[in-house]
Amino acid sequence: MSKAHQAADDQLNRMGYEAELPRRLSLLSIFGLSFAIIAAPFGLSTTMALPLVNGGPVTIVYGWLLVTFISLSIAASLAEICACYPTAGGLYYWSYILSKPKYASITSWVTGWLLLVGNWMSTCAITFGGAQLILSGVSLFDAGFIPTPWQTVLTFWGVLLLCLLVNLYGVKYLDLVNKLCVYWTVISCVVIMITLLVMSKEKRSAEFVFTNFDTSRSGMPSGWSFGIGLLQATYTLTGYGMIAAMCEEVQNPQKEVPKAIVLSVVAAGITGIAFLIPILFVLPDIDYLLNETNGMPIGFLFARATGSPAAGLGLLIGVIGTMVFAGIAALTASSRCTYAFARDGAIPGSLHWRKIHQGLQVPAYALGLSSLVIASMGCIYFGSAAAFNAFTGATCICLSASFVSPVLISLLRGRRLVQHSTFSLGKFGYLLNLVSVCWVVVAFALFSFPAQLPVTASSMNYTSVVFVGFAVISVVYYTLRGRKSFEGPPVTDIMQIIEGDELGSAAAAVSATKAAKEIEG
């Protein structure tokens, strides 16, 4: 074992855990994992219809830039905390140790459940959206083809099964897979950008791309419609915080994971705008696009711009490949989050889900539970064609709320426990933390509303139903057992902050700084 590995394991022991997973991942690999989960070309493609209804090009371009800035604020806030406490428990561990002792257990419980559900919903949205994208490729050659719910759900289960098998039996290759994802995504984006601009015979003006704003299709006030259209960018830019669950498999987690969190958002922001601008320049008639494509217009747009269904499918395969990488990465992060939360006894049947399969060296039971929950969520589609919107909305609300929980706690307590972080935000800390908190409050309201009026049973936004359903499970389990058995994650040599106890804060900061120096040395 290298000195860096030993130092990372020693720090994990000080936080109350024994190292059980091999540390295979480097900075490039963990960056690739986060970049894969974000999967900008895929996320933007599967949600393209939403901003087209709610404002069009202005919502797409400026919404992406706005949410990228907000996401960087949240990512930097999380990176600062992660540099102090690199554990698979991530956000719920941070909420516990940053809270006053009186509230530590309940804040940890709430944050953990938000994070867990957000991870599951993110993986569900990626794989379900991928299934719809795959089936949309058939429509390029058969305009009359409309996938049935069964065809969609079975394809979704097939995509999920592929991701599960890679996670179970290809774990030794995850480092390579994550690195390949970076190259695949960038190359696909460049190929799509050049092909569209070269082959398209009709192009929009720069005025249309950067100034056209039409919310008449949504039936809502312009400002509110623009806000709802931000779901495209928000859903796409949510995966960065999930990689905190991988800290116990990274070689130098205190140093590498914070960097990966922030750099992945920067890279995704650049990739996203490079992907969007050419698409808007070759955008066909919006009404025709929305009416003819069964909710997934990107493949039709590719075919229309290139003048060939085959060429359109070729470009679509580039996006589908990005989806496969995203699904594998998201399920990896979801299973580690499930494993960590079960390790602290916060999930029914925790003794089973916390086990590590010694032969495969993965949390196989947590992988199984995550896959089972995600697969069952697909059944919502049998009752509502708006299931994908529910998955994306629940992803944004749950993950954003879990991301901001430790940030809010740190902010309310004067940021004492992070002031000596090796990834310090310095004088910008309060501002970035405040931006993060305010955004989540706004997002919770925006993404619970339907995308357009009038509302029907099939177009209703069921995000709140999914959110409340899991909230009920969490509350019931906490009432029956959790409040008696769950005491939060173990805190051993890491000192719990006590109100007004600056000595405790300083000791924890010194401990974190010392550990960082050991790892870097």
Region 448-452: mean pLDDT is: 70
Q: What is the mean pLDDT of the chain?
A: 86
Residue 368 belongs to what H/E stretch? helix 364-377
Pick 154 or 484 by higher pLDDT: 154
Q: Is residue 515 part of a domain?
A: no
What pLDDT is recorded for position 500? 41
Q: At residue 302, does pLDDT exceed 90?
A: yes
User: Which of 52-66, 317-331, 408-422 comes out lowest in average pLDDT?
Assistant: 408-422
Residue-level pLDDT at 480: 83
Alpha-carbon span 90 to 70, nearest angstrom: 20
DSSP letter (8 states) at residue 137 = H
* Total structural domains within the chain: 1
* Predicted local confidence at residue 476, as pLDDT: 86
Give the highest mean pLDDT range of 211-220, 325-334, 474-483.
325-334
Instruction: Give the model's pLDDT for residue 494.
Output: 53
Domain range enclosing 368: 3-21+42-423+448-490
pLDDT in tens, 273-295: 999 999 999 999 888 888 866 66
> What's the residue count for the chain?
521
How distant, in Å, are the alpha carbons of 183, 196, 206, 281 from that of 203? 29, 10, 9, 5
Position 513 confidence tier, pLDDT thresholds 50, 70, 90: very low
138 lies in some domain:
yes
- Model confidence at 22, in pLDDT bands (50, 70, 90)? low
Average pLDDT over residues 104-128: 92
| Any domain includes 75 | yes
Highest mean pLDDT among 51-60, 291-300, 457-466, 492-501: 51-60
CATH of the domain at 122: 1.20.1740.10
What was the pLDDT predicted at 190? 95
Q: From CA 244, how far away is CA 257, in angstroms rounded? A: 7
User: pLDDT at position 239, please?
Assistant: 83
For residue 343, the model assigns a pLDDT of 86
**How many CB atoms sit inside 10 A of residue 154's CB?**
14
pLDDT at 6: 65
Rounded to whole angstroms, the Cα distance separating 52 from 231 reads 12
Is pLDDT above 50 for 178?
A: yes
Per DSSP, the residues of 171-193 read: GGGHHHHHHHHHHHHHHHHHHHH
Q: Is residue 120 part of a domain?
A: yes
Query: 60-64, 122-126, 404-408, 503-507: which has the minimum mean pLDDT?
Result: 503-507
Within a domain: 29: no
Question: Does 428 map to a domain?
Answer: no
Q: Is residue 239 part of a domain?
A: yes
Q: Which pLDDT band holds residue 5 (cuts at 50, 70, 90)? A: low
In this structure, what token pair is assigned to residue 405? 């929980």
* Residue bearing the bigger pLDDT, 100 or 465: 100
In a domain, 49, yes or no: yes
